[in-house]
Structure 1
Amino acid sequence: MTSSERPETYRALRVLKDDAGIHAEFQTLPVGTLPEGDTLVAVTHSSLNYKDGLAVAGKPGVLRTYPMTPGIDLAGTVLQDDTGAYAAGTAVILTGWGIGERQDGGYATLARVRSGWLVPAPEGTDGQWAMGIGTAGFTAMLAVMALEDHGLTPGDGEVLVTGAAGGVGSTAVALLAAAGHTVVASSGRTGETEYLKALGASTVIGRDNVSGLTRPLEKERWAGVVDTVGGATLAAAYASTRTHGSLAVCGLAGGSALQTTVFPLILRGVNLLGIDSVTCPTPRRRAAWARLARDLPADRLASVTQVRGLSEVPALAPEILAGRIRGRTVIDVTR
């Protein structure tokens, strides 16, 4: 598509800061107001993540400047790429790199970004599938890959997933089960047992069964851990990980502080693996998305995904902040 065929305006959910405070509103804006970048993307889908809920609800700490378009994920098709890396019409995915935080994100019908931030959508997938995965599922895949890189194989023993009913946790449970691991899902949501077992968890335990462990070294149990919670839950999971086991750490819903000791590191050789999905290098991104397309096809995502319109996001933001949204929420930005 040539520049003369590009839309002249686009619709976006903008978060403003003015005399009325921080608030979100829908605006129709000229294309010239998009941020700098070498690639123009027609966005079809985004997703709702905890960070997005914070931003849309006007909570501080996510958006670096105002006004800003939230949405830390997007999927769509390339309209124009000045670098030549992507032909017009190529289906692409973008997660991380500061969109929806430092630069306008996916809650708009157009986005201008850097081509180096994009990955091509795997063959046979679409935008709804990609955003059913989104940052949450991509992060979960990186966590599983990190555990495997450090020696975790099926049959090694139980693998714990904390915060298992959330977006990252749900996908981690499904991915680990698909790979043949024995998954123990930990959740503070007492009514989610059947949901988590349907995803592949062999056992579901309450949050307190993990966070209630307080000794520097607990009885060895976990061959591996995907932790989305942080705080006391991470400390307890770390203290009860088996010799030479690993923990992939990717969340802080339970707090950013980590009160623990070095004993699991130096007496058991436990590995603490940090998962950063924002600046993950492109080759790793492509490998993760290819694995996701293989292990989580659209039919397997159906039970953990709901599709809502962009117009519904302001009402959905407080719901995700209150922990009342299960799994993944895809945002169709065209409605």
Structure 2
Amino acid sequence: MSAPSQVFQAAIPPMSRNISEPNSFDHSTWGSRAVMIIGAGTRAAESVVAAFAGAGAGRIALLDVNDVSGNRDVAIRAARAGNMEIPDMLTFRLDGEGSVTPAEAAEEVSRKWGHIDIMVHHACTPLTSSKLDRNGQRMDASQSWKSLEAGVRNVYESLQQLLFLVLAGSEKTLINIFTATELGTPPAVGVSRMVEMLNRQMTDSLMLDHGHEGLLAYSVHSPADNATELDGSIIVQLTKNRIEWLGGRHISSKQNVQELLAYREMIVHKDLLRYNSSLSFGLPSERAWHPFMKRRGRVPRSSF
């Protein structure tokens, strides 16, 4: 496992988190935009939903396997608190009573709005731990495979069914958000790490496959001590304008956005904020992925 880039860390001063009030955003930018938040029923998504509504996003679509009515109410309260118009909202539950498929959700969004400008995907799939016998051996390999399939194949297929909406929008931006979670027993750790790695690599794959169509995809990582308190204003600031050079990169939610953008030349020149395709199962998530590591994934610098 390579060490963090000392040059990059030494050159960038300690970054304070950039907390902005909703009223600090240019609301005229957001009134005409359509935002889709996948995984919108989670607590980790609450701040993101509130930030977009408080910034004045005109249309917000919420998708989750769970009920999203709670975060729909959050969006309404945030819009009122920011003296914004309540956004036109679409909510979709992908499991349980009254559920729809991702394709059906995409069809309704396309029919009513025609496109999505910004898609935020919370890449956080709960995994079921494999059963262990008294010797610690995995007993239920099929359950591990089902968890892996749910966390990777289902996510990939869902994004592919929804992606045409983003490519039809003005911003064509997709952000994968990763929040650290408890990994559980050893076999579940392996599956969780594999799911995390493949979902991160999916960001690079989307850029390779659709970058020529204008797609801008990158990842934001929320460390363990901040997993359920991701500051949604960071996502709003990052998506206010298209930041082309962030394509295929992986950044930390603890970074101050203005300071991050100030180091654009260094990040691009040294090709920093890349995710390595190698994986260590022996390290906790925050050490296994560090936003300042100079790691090359499968996307070369000149690909975008």
TM-score by length of 2: 0.37
Bigger CA radius of gyration: 1
TM-score normalised by length of structure 1: 0.34
From the two aligned structures, give the one with the greater helix fraction: 2
Structure number with the higher strand fraction is: 1
